[in-house]
Structure 1
Amino acid sequence: MRNKYLSKGHDFLITVKAPGKLYIAGEYAVVEAGYPAILVALNQFVTVTVQESFDYGSIYSKQYQENSLYWKREGNNMVFDNRDNPFHYILSAIRLTENYAQSLGKQMRCYHLRIDSDLDSPDGKKYGLGSSAAVTVATIKALCQFYRLSMDKNQLFKLAAIAHLDIQGNGSLGDIAASVYGGWIAYRSFDRQWLKMARRQHSLAELIDLSWPDLQIELLTPPASLKLLIGWTGSPASTSHLVDAVGLKMSNQRQGYQHFLTESKACIKRMITGFHQGSLTLIQKEIRYNRKILRALSDLSGVQIETSLLHKLCETAEANHGASKTSGAGGGDCGIVLIDRQINAKNLLAAWQKAGIEQLDLHVHHVLD
């Protein structure tokens, strides 16, 4: 029934997509303002479709069919029939984008919003590819087209970062950057305390045009010889919970935590130099060092980052000439391997399969629009 609202060829049908991501290095440190990380955008997407409606609106997701939302307009406000829903990131993205649109004099309209994601497996398993960030970015991009709002990637990042932060409350927002810019990126997080104060002093339109303290986003070109392999352990992990747990433990270990931050920043700077120089050897060296300091952070905090299966993933890769580590917050989800593409990875992948590790056949995605 709901699909009839999304017939192809309709004058007001808009479809956009945003890619998922994986962290390559710099995890945990990147949640602190000014500390760098490297991420990559992947060719798995959240797709958002918007079609104008003249009586009521709906939000529908293939992943949450039983929880579709219906709403209507009362003036410029969205009034929902059902407030108990799984669409918090989408609603935050809608709210921020419509606030921005209204500040530019746009008239609010009704529409049907459809979300489809291939960032999780067909049977609902979460791979840890940043679906909440991708759906936030895709929703904002779709509504910007719907309301004919001109928005560059820098503005899109800032609006999506605010929308995502309003819901999650922590994290670096590097996954937002990966979904917006695509490809390989070096990312430094902005000062969230500054943003909190700036939101009281500036309009949304002013805020997304300002220079945000500590924020840096640089597109990187990998060496031609670099091949990225991704292994999934079959065990989903909660990034926000792990980040909170490490932060809580580190509040009593300031000296050790500061040492970790300093080492992580130096490591990522050297890795970025490796990208600039096209040196796979230097990049691999720093991948291994980043794994080492993350394991030290795990020991210091008592929070398990490298599970036994992630350890197996990494050690198997190292035995087959790859440089490997956990990706993201760890505790499950994925591990990554950077390897020379001329090396035959057959033995590595066979060992993964034997251990119950699934190779994700994903590739780097570059955002062109």
Structure 2
Amino acid sequence: MITTKAPGKIYIAGEYAVVENGNHAIIAAVNRFVTVKLKKTSGTGLITSKQYENHMLRSHRIGSKMVVDNRDNPFQYIISAINVTEEYVQTLNIPPQTYEINVNSTLDNGDGKKYGLGSSAAVTVATIKALCELYQLKITKIELFKLAAISHFDVQGNGSLGDVASSVFGGIISYSSFDRQWLADFRKKISIKELLKLQWPDLEIIPLKIPNSLKFLVGWSGSPSSTSNLIDKVELKKGKNNSRYQKFLHDSNKCVREITNGFRQNNIRIIMNNINWNRLLLRNLSKFAHVDIETPALTKLIEIADKFGGAAKTSGAGGGDCGIVLIEKECDINQLIKDWKENGIQRLDISIYEH
């Protein structure tokens, strides 16, 4: 039995801007995971998940190709991860295997509601890690990222893939999004083996470290959101507000650079001031794109944190899901958490996960 896991993620800064090539975000891996268990079988393969107890997906091989019964399929990211990794394995002339995969996740609330912690990225990364172990592939982290990014992009078709990078590298990273159109074009022209060897345009992943004097809090609004839908809505509006959108990109990158410098200099004032600025940038984007990024529940989360001296903002696409707070460690957070609870906001027992 092979067991692998990959962490979820939460955005600290740079959301929306990072979907454009070469733009930056800061992302933290968190101590909530997707776990994949894989064992070899003969004949028929199987995919099951604790989160989808009424579903199982069977597969079989025709020659070297894995054929999946795709009716009523909730496992699309797992299937894509399998297909891409198997495609890579074929280029290495490794004999194909048949296997069962079981998936379990702590990235939701137990009732199936997702917190917005990047479950699709984490399950993609964990599945590929398990298959690489099965086939005894020695790959680097950047190669794992590229395999997972291809798999995820094949399904979703948009997004920055920063959540994939966070699941692969762990800790806090500064991430610059690569050219997705370049990937789409070269995916049709060359093998995955060759794609892994290339330098991907604009891709940059740099590890950062949070200052010891800062505490990191995550609050959940109680409402899930759809990242893909929100990104699509901004995409539709940006052409009509191009000058404002370009200013947003410029300011967001400047803000992320300042936060990155704050991490490197161990300067909590720089970090917290620019977290607050990033919140204002996202609120401005929300207005001109007519997208509900900061919901009333998230506004309440932020206002309560601000009252106790924290720097807070929405995380990820917003529209629900989570907000983050950075606050000095000596501050008493008990009353903050109590006020959150009284306003329907749940503090998640989450910390930054280092590999």
Give the TM-score category using the shorter length.
over 0.9
Residue type matched to 1:103 in 2?
T
Which residue of 13, 16, 28 maps to 2:16? 28
The verdict on how the C-alpha distance between 1:257 and 1:209 changes in structure 2, with shifts beyond 3 A counting, is same
Distance 2:340 2:20 in 1: 34
Residue type matched to 2:177 in 1?
S
Residue type matched to 2:66 in 1?
M
Query: Residue in 2 aligned with 1:58?
Result: 46
The verdict on how the C-alpha distance between 1:80 and 1:212 changes in structure 2, with shifts beyond 3 A counting, is closer
The reply on whether 1:311 has 2:311 as its aligned counterpart is: no
The reply on whether 1:98 has 2:86 as its aligned counterpart is: yes
Moved more, 70-79 or 27-36: 70-79
* TM-score, normalising length: structure 2: 0.99
Query: Residue in 2 aligned with 1:208?
Result: 196
The reply on whether 1:67 has 2:65 as its aligned counterpart is: no
Aligned pairs, number: 355
SS in 1 for 2:143: helix
Query: Residue in 2 aligned with 1:192?
Result: 180
Distance 1:363 1:84 in 2: 35
Moved more, 319-328 or 83-92: 83-92
Query: Residue in 1 aligned with 2:282?
Result: 294
Following TM superposition, by how much is the alpha carbon of 1:156 offset from its aligned partner in structure 2, in angstroms? Answer: 0.4
Distance 1:264 1:293 in 2: 7
Which residue of 156, 161, 181 maps to 2:169? 181
User: Structure 2: which 5+ residue stretches go unaligned?
Assistant: none
Residue type matched to 1:17 in 2?
K
Distance 1:26 1:328 in 2: 9
Following TM superposition, by how much is the alpha carbon of 1:24 offset from its aligned partner in structure 2, in angstroms? Answer: 0.5
Which residue of 266, 271, 277 maps to 2:265? 277
The reply on whether 1:352 has 2:319 as its aligned counterpart is: no
Moved more, 96-105 or 75-84: 75-84
SS in 1 for 2:144: helix
Distance 1:350 1:190 in 2: 41
Residue type matched to 1:237 in 2?
S
SS in 1 for 2:53: helix
Residue type matched to 2:92 in 1?
L
Query: Residue in 2 aligned with 1:78?
Result: 66
Distance 1:127 1:66 in 2: 22
Query: Residue in 2 aligned with 1:9?
Result: none
Query: Residue in 1 aligned with 2:256?
Result: 268
Which residue of 166, 180, 184 maps to 2:154? 166
Query: Residue in 2 aligned with 1:4?
Result: none
Which residue of 203, 214, 218 maps to 2:206? 218
Q: Percent identity?
A: 54
Following TM superposition, by how much is the alpha carbon of 1:82 offset from its aligned partner in structure 2, in angstroms? Answer: 4.7
SS in 2 for 1:21: strand
Q: Deviations over 1:211-234 (max 9, x none)?
A: 111000000011111110000010
Distance 1:201 1:164 in 2: 19
Q: Deviations over 1:246-268 (max 9, x none)?
A: 11111211111000000000000
* TM-score, normalising length: structure 1: 0.95
Following TM superposition, by how much is the alpha carbon of 1:80 offset from its aligned partner in structure 2, in angstroms? Answer: 3.0
Residue type matched to 1:176 in 2?
V
**CA RMSD in angstroms, aligned pairs only:** 0.9
Distance 1:318 1:255 in 2: 31
Distance 1:64 1:310 in 2: 29
